[in-house]
A and B are shown apart, each in its own frame.
Chain A
Amino acid sequence: MNPQSPWLRGAVIVAVVFVCQEAVFRGLRIDGIRTDLLLGLGVVTAIVAGAERGAAVAFIAALLGDLFVNTPFGLSALVACVVAFLAGSVQAGIGAGHRWSVPTLTALASALGVVLWALLGTVLGLPGLLGPRLLVVAVVVASVNALVSVPLAVLMRWVFAGVSVAPSAGASRGYVA
């Protein structure tokens, strides 16, 4: 495989973030709440590289994360790809050049992801997800992901360097000739 391939670079970044999430930062909790870097990675990818790529990265990253939890396999992947796609679409709608769009959108999308996960989990029969703590979890995850979105954005821009990012979510594909 071409080492310059954005998908190979992307796989490396996903692997690194996955190791960070499940090993390096595994014990790091804020008020007992774990960070969700894998969700953040997918959202940031969607913002800087387009909704399509973001959804794919978010799906794969969250699916890896699903291997380590005891909740329904694929639930995180479902939420992450939908949220990343929405974030990428919103970013395409507002256009580039907004300095705070990456951390702001990442925070909003991450919070939405946490809430959506809890809602779907409740629908699937998981008890005790909807409560005051859900908001705390959403705020903590959103805040941390907003912080890490800046370096993640740099990484994902490097991953997809030379690959066109279309102004609309619908056209976010293809390589520059």
Chain B
Amino acid sequence: MAVSRRSARPRFLIVILVLASMTLITLDLRGGGAIPKVRGKVRDLFAPVQSAAGDATRPVTGFFQGVFQYDQLRHDNARLRAENASLRAQQIQAQYLQQENKDLTDQLKLDFVGDIPTVAARVIGGAESNFELTIVIDRGTAAGVLKGMPVVASSGLVGRVLEVSARQSTVLLLTDPSASVGIQFAPQPAVGVATGQGSGRALEVTLYDPSQEVPGASVAVTSGGAGSPYPRGVPVGRLTAPAKGPGVQAKSLTLDPVVDLGRLSYVDVLIWTPQTHPVTTPAPATSTPGGSPSTTAVRR
């Protein structure tokens, strides 16, 4: 009997631990409660330690990053050299393109940020797990950042605030499989939804009207709309699918994000929510059988 009791104890403990875990998971998935608050408080308390340790160990981690990413760095070096040569050639066309861009912007009212107030933030960390595409920034509710606010870089959309504590926030990147954004191609009227496909992969586009064709080099911007978590006109990505004839078939549309999400140092949080900045759904030039082009984002 004694042996039986002894051998039963570890099984009893593991059952207790499993049940405790499942209870916590259930409580968290139900939302609300104390868990998000505890997480926020702990992150705030630990943020100075993370920041100090990160600064102190940056040379070491940088060295190892260099070792582990040697091939990547070589590839980047070659790519940058090629880009440099290409940019020299493109410089010649810059004035013409600037004028064209101005015209297109005026036409589509692509004010990007416009008069929306922003909060500049430093990226202080990447994803805390290997299964979410997020970044951590050093601004939180103390700076006016709220959950759900859009985050942009100089060239376009980065994502939206997923979790926020007093001094830092977690930003869900566009490329996370749980992220999606309503888009509109410029200057074409085609509207749809771009969904993340994972790190380093292009966004998959679903057009509301699959019969529409989009020219190969089109740029997609946020479509905005009532209830959208993003304001209208923020650049999202550039079409990557090969063009067939005058346009690209809707089934094969993918977007390469305009922002290099793997190399973010500073971002801007748009102090913007659908509630504080109600916008009207832009009237697309074509019908949208799939419904409003407003954006959606799956809650993680």
Contact = CB atoms under 8 A, between A and B. Distances in A.
Interface stretch (A97-105, A120-128, A146-154): A120-128
A116 interface: no
A153 to B, nearest CB: 20
Interface stretch (B83-91, B121-129, B213-221, B239-247): B121-129
Contact of B10 (A26, A117, A169): A169
B68 A72 contact: no
Contacts of A25: 57, 61
A141 interface: yes
Contacts of B35: 73
A25 B64 CA distance: 11
A71 B132 contact: yes
Given A59-B17, A173-B9, A73 B68 contact: no
A78 B6 contact: no
Contacts of B198: 128, 131, 133
Nearest to A64: B42
Interface residues of B, number: 62
B61 A27 contact: yes
B13 A52 contact: yes
A78 B18 contact: yes
Given A59-B17, A75-B25, A26 B130 contact: no
Nearest to B23: A74
B9 A70 contact: no
Contacts of A81: 14, 17-18, 21
Nearest to B198: A128
Nearest to A89: B10
A1 interface: no
Contacts of B38: 67
Interface residues of A, number: 56
B129 to A, nearest CB: 4
Interface string B208-245: 00000000000000000000000000000000000000
B131 A126 contact: yes
Contacts of B127: 34
B53 interface: yes
Given A51-B10, A71-B131, A131-B198, A28 B21 contact: no
B54 A27 contact: yes
Contacts of B273: none
Contacts of A19: 49, 53
A20 B296 CA distance: 37
Contacts of A85: 10, 14
A28 B65 contact: yes
Given A81-B18, A82-B14, A129 B131 contact: yes
A30 interface: yes
B130 A78 contact: no
A34 B129 contact: yes
Interface in B121-180: 125-132, 134, 162-163, 170, 176-178
Nearest to A78: B21
Contact of B9 (A31, A52, A121): A52
B61 A74 contact: no
Contacts of B39: 67-68, 73
Given A56-B17, A173-B9, A70 B68 contact: no
B222 to A, nearest CB: 21
B205 to A, nearest CB: 17
A29 B147 CA distance: 27
A106 B25 CA distance: 26
Given A22-B50, A56-B17, A173-B6, 6 more contacts: A23-B49, A70-B134, A70-B163, A78-B18, A126-B300, A173-B10
Closest 5 CB pairs of A and B: A170-B7, A128-B177, A74-B24, A78-B21, A23-B53
28 contacts: A19-B49, A23-B53, A25-B57, A26-B50, A33-B130, A51-B10, A52-B9, A55-B13, A55-B14, A67-B38, A67-B39, A68-B128, A70-B162, A73-B28, A73-B35, A74-B20, A74-B24, A77-B17, A78-B22, A81-B17, A82-B14, A127-B298, A128-B176, A129-B131, A166-B6, A170-B9, A170-B10, A173-B9
